[in-house]
Chain A
Amino acid sequence: MMAFFATRTDLALDRDASGRFLPWVIAVMVFMAMLALAGAMVLQRATAGWQRGIEGHLTVQIADQAGQPMAPRLAAAVKELQLVPGVVRAVPLDRAAVELLLAPWLGRENLTSDLPLPGLIDVEVAPGGIDVAAIGARLARTVPGAVVDDPKPWLDRVLRLADLLQILAGAVVLGIGLATVFMVIFATRAGLSSHREAIEVLHLIGARDGYIAGQFQRQTLRLALAGALPAGIAAAGSLIVLGVLAAGAGRGLLPTIGFGPLAWLALAALPVIAIVIATLSARFTVLGYLREML
């Protein structure tokens, strides 16, 4: 490895302008690609979590009505629900549970004991679905003010949006990859034409195309390493800090930003992939160019 870095090149590639800008370009590309991939993975986990929590559940809400105690109305609604085919379980939430749900929105201090709160019933339904409208009509007859809340249409919209965002993140990563390839091709072509005379001499004294391509390839590898490694570390650091901040901001509101070993592996693969495609782009650009020479 050390010998590799010490190798002097026959072409004065280390003085080329690309030596100054390529590491920066690759660093920015790697950083952005890692954040885009991380965003897609956070979204993926969050929507999977919502889906698991919501699918197979309905919520029945009973609005507070002045002068009517909530407890008997809740009990009546639960009894009615248990008669509906397809309902597995119907569990009323006590006041403490309702307060817990509202805390992120109202704050605990604002929930005085005389604040009228709606009654909530968590309904678990059998897989295969259930006619939400029919339950609603049936409940409304027994317990006025009861409404069935079906989260499924909302969930579907959120999932569609999440899918779209993930496709977008994929397109961003792909676009960044292509831009990196084009930058490297551009820089390599500039290098080839500014070293044309020396390349010709190497050819005339018997250098093979692979020998000349190897010089460009090693130089590009050095520049890509110089850009991709710090950028990878910076992106990982940013994600860890973001995770801590998101956790501090409250669990209910923000999805958690935390990654398992596989996700970290996928993130770590990005700088490596950037280095590999940069190096290969340089190699094939040189080989293509040399084929035009005698």
Chain B
Amino acid sequence: MVRFQNVGMRYGLGPEVLRDLTFDLPAGSFHFLTGPSGAGKSTLLKLLYLAHRPSRGLITMFDQNVAAVPRNRLPGLRRRIGVVFQEFRLLDHLSALDNVALPLRIAGANRKQAEDHVRELLAWVGLSDRMNAKPPTLSGGEKQRVAIARAVIARPSLLLADEPTGNVDPAMGRRLMHLFVELNKIGTTLVIATHDEAMISEFRRPVLRLADGELSVEGA
């Protein structure tokens, strides 16, 4: 599904934030991505959701060399990737419902069917009564759940989540983790960035550990 070979990444002319990353994410795998703040977790995820190109090295995703994919075929790849951004990145003037429906709308889905599907998912994450609220009126935990719903609504084959349980209480955090586990069971490949060691040890999945821009893989 994903293969990194000697990938390096720097912002502008700054220092290399990621150095010589080489790893594989087999289809259907479930990895945690951890490391101290500033280690480069978000940067690695940006490479995975095609928001940045690496400064060097080779990234292969869905059997394609990402650097060689022409611009007009990037949207097709991105639709197979669901992302929960660390800062959510919801569109403030759209309701929770419309935010979650966005990936379906963009892919040209039938409006009515999309809406039913979105309502069901929002109910599942406990937001039945907040569907028409706009993000600025939502709490951090509510925004996080809207962001997760938007990431999974279109059934991506690769799901990336940047600290997705950082703003919810432990009970909701566990509920969301079980959602991820269920998605993984139906074949979704997952990478979840977190620095919650308790969760990592509870769910016992292989860990990509970043320190000083270098990566080690544990428990594969």
Are A10 and B102 closer than 8 Å at their CB atoms?
A: yes
Chain A 1-26 interface residues, beta-carbon cutoff 8 Å to B: 8, 10-12, 15
Are B106 and A206 closer than 8 Å at their CB atoms?
A: yes
Query: Distance (Å) between the CB of A47 and the closest chain B CB?
Result: 54
Are A294 and B75 closer than 8 Å at their CB atoms?
A: no
Given A10-B94, A206-B103: A294 and B53 interface contact (C-beta under 8 Å): yes
Q: Is B4 in the interface zone, CB < 8 Å from A? A: no
Q: Is B113 in the interface zone, CB < 8 Å from A? A: no
Q: Which has the most chain B C-beta neighbours within 10 Å: A8, A203, A206?
A: A206
**Which chain B residue lies CB-closest to A206?**
B79
Q: CA–CA, A200 to B93, complex, Å?
A: 16
Are A204 and B49 closer than 8 Å at their CB atoms?
A: yes
Q: How large is the interface on B (under 10, 10 to 19, 20 to 34, 35 or more residues)?
A: 20 to 34
**Which chain B residue lies CB-closest to A205?**
B103
- For A191-232 the 0/1 string (1 means CB < 8 A from B) is 000000110111111111101000000000000000000000
Q: CA–CA, A119 to B106, complex, Å?
A: 85
Chain A residues lying within 8 Å of B178, measured Cβ to Cβ, are none
Are A204 and B91 closer than 8 Å at their CB atoms?
A: no
Q: CA–CA, A15 to B92, complex, Å?
A: 13
- For B88-124 the 0/1 string (1 means CB < 8 A from A) is 0101111000100011011100000000000000000
Query: Distance (Å) between the CB of A43 and the closest chain B CB?
Result: 50
**Which chain A residue lies CB-closest to B93?**
A12
**Which chain A residue lies CB-closest to B80?**
A206
Q: Which has the most chain B C-beta neighbours within 10 Å: A11, A204, A207, A208?
A: A204
Query: Distance (Å) between the CB of A205 and the closest chain B CB?
Result: 5
- For A257-294 the 0/1 string (1 means CB < 8 A from B) is 00000000000000000000000000000000001001
Q: Is B13 in the interface zone, CB < 8 Å from A? A: no
Query: Distance (Å) between the CB of A184 and the closest chain B CB?
Result: 23
Chain A residues lying within 8 Å of B91, measured Cβ to Cβ, are 10-12, 198, 201
Q: CA–CA, A201 to B83, complex, Å?
A: 10
Which residue of A11, A204, A294 contacts B83 across the interface (Cβ within 8 Å)?
Answer: A204
Chain A residues lying within 8 Å of B150, measured Cβ to Cβ, are 205
Chain A residues lying within 8 Å of B89, measured Cβ to Cβ, are 197, 201
Are A291 and B102 closer than 8 Å at their CB atoms?
A: no
Query: Distance (Å) between the CB of A34 and the closest chain B CB?
Result: 37
Which residue of B75, B83, B92, B93 contacts A207 across the interface (Cβ within 8 Å)?
Answer: B75
Are B74 and A202 closer than 8 Å at their CB atoms?
A: no
**Which chain B residue lies CB-closest to A197?**
B89
**Which chain A residue lies CB-closest to B103?**
A205
Q: CA–CA, A73 to B49, complex, Å?
A: 103
Are A294 and B50 closer than 8 Å at their CB atoms?
A: yes
**Which chain B residue lies CB-closest to A207?**
B106
Query: Distance (Å) between the CB of A145 and the closest chain B CB?
Result: 86
Are A291 and B71 closer than 8 Å at their CB atoms?
A: yes
Q: CA–CA, A205 to B99, complex, Å?
A: 11
- For B34-55 the 0/1 string (1 means CB < 8 A from A) is 0000000000000001111100
Are A294 and B94 closer than 8 Å at their CB atoms?
A: no
Q: Which has the most chain B C-beta neighbours within 10 Å: A8, A12, A198, A205?
A: A205
Q: Is B78 in the interface zone, CB < 8 Å from A? A: yes
Given A8-B98, A198-B91: A206 and B107 interface contact (C-beta under 8 Å): yes
Q: CA–CA, A294 to B50, complex, Å?
A: 8
Given A197-B89, A205-B102: A294 and B107 interface contact (C-beta under 8 Å): no
Are B74 and A294 closer than 8 Å at their CB atoms?
A: yes
Query: Distance (Å) between the CB of A211 and the closest chain B CB?
Result: 6
Please, could you name 16 A-B residue pairs with CB atoms under 8 Å apart, sorted by A?
A10-B102, A202-B106, A203-B78, A204-B78, A204-B83, A205-B78, A205-B79, A205-B83, A206-B75, A206-B78, A206-B79, A206-B103, A207-B75, A294-B52, A294-B53, A294-B74
B binding-site residues for A, Cβ under 8 Å: 49-53, 71-72, 74-76, 78-79, 83, 89, 91-94, 98, 102-103, 105-107, 150
